[in-house]
Amino acid sequence: MIAFVATPIGNLKDITLRALETLREADVIFCEDTRHTVKLLSAYGIRKPLKSCHKFNEREAAEQLIALSREGQNVAVVSDAGMPAISDPGREVCRILRERGENFTVLPGANAALSALVLSAFPSAGFTFLGFLPEKKREREELLARHRESRETLLFHSAPQDVDRTIAALYSAFGDRNACAVREITKIHEETRYFRLSEGLAGEKRGEYVLLVEGAGEAENPWNALTPREHVQKYLDEGLEKMEAVKRAARDRGVPKSELYRETLDL
């Protein structure tokens, strides 16, 4: 069995009974940093062989992992904190496993982005998680440009030394919006701070951050230049069926499909 196991993002008590059972039954554990994982395992009296699986050796780790699994060994994969493959090593391993037809499972658990979304109290009916911004300026700008008109809350990860640069990039791409910085989630010094992108986040930056930005407002959505009827009619003129036209227009405007459908019954 191959299992990707979520681990605590701060408080060591935030681990599921199933995760502990899986780690105890594992014959080998692949981890991002063996020194970090040893601390977690030691807290629960678990001693297992550890192998490295970090962003520089994922393909090699995947080959080892597959070989051990085919020998009948139970293999667990963890990152330093949270869910493997989500802004952490593991995505490439998952891809290779799928390509090879290898079965694997996932054990859910602590997640920094979702926890921050709750703490921020920002709209959560729809949201987009974008993780760490690309290092290269052009790639960063292209990514943010694709989400400039999104009406959903946007979530980003940021290391403390990158927070100011990340906020500057968000302001450049989105203009001035409400934002929220959440850090040290589940730890003693957990903190939630609100600010405007134009103002930046004051003070010394410590700990890992989740940065949240409110979605584009009414005035920022170019589709609002059209009436709901004109918007749906545009897609009908392009050859779409009525329901698909309503669905796309609703997504563009960030409103329920039923709202547009009522306004365009006679189209």
* Whether 138 and 151 share a structural domain: yes
* Whether 193 and 246 share a structural domain: no
Range of the domain at 195: 112-219
* Whether 11 and 85 share a structural domain: yes
Buried b (16+ CB within 10 A) or exposed e, 102-118: bebebbebbbbbbbbbe
For residue 61, pLDDT over 80 is answered with yes
* Predicted local distance difference test score (pLDDT) of residue 220: 61
Report the phi/psi class of residue 165: left, alpha or beta, with left for phi > 0 and alpha for psi in -120 to 50. Answer: alpha
Mean per-residue pLDDT, 61-88: 96
**Phi, psi (degrees; rounded to nearest 5) at 147:** -115, 10
What is the average pLDDT value for the chain, to the nearest integer? Answer: 92
pLDDT category of residue 257 using cuts at 50, 70 and 90:
confident
pLDDT in tens, 83-139: 999 999 999 999 999 999 999 999 999 999 999 999 999 999 899 999 999 999 999
* Whether 57 and 81 share a structural domain: yes
10 Å Cβ neighbour count for 167? 24
CA distances from 56 to 76, 77, 78, 171 (A): 19, 16, 15, 32
Mean per-residue pLDDT, 36-55: 96
pLDDT in tens, 231-256: 888 888 888 888 888 888 887 776 77
* Predicted local distance difference test score (pLDDT) of residue 121: 93
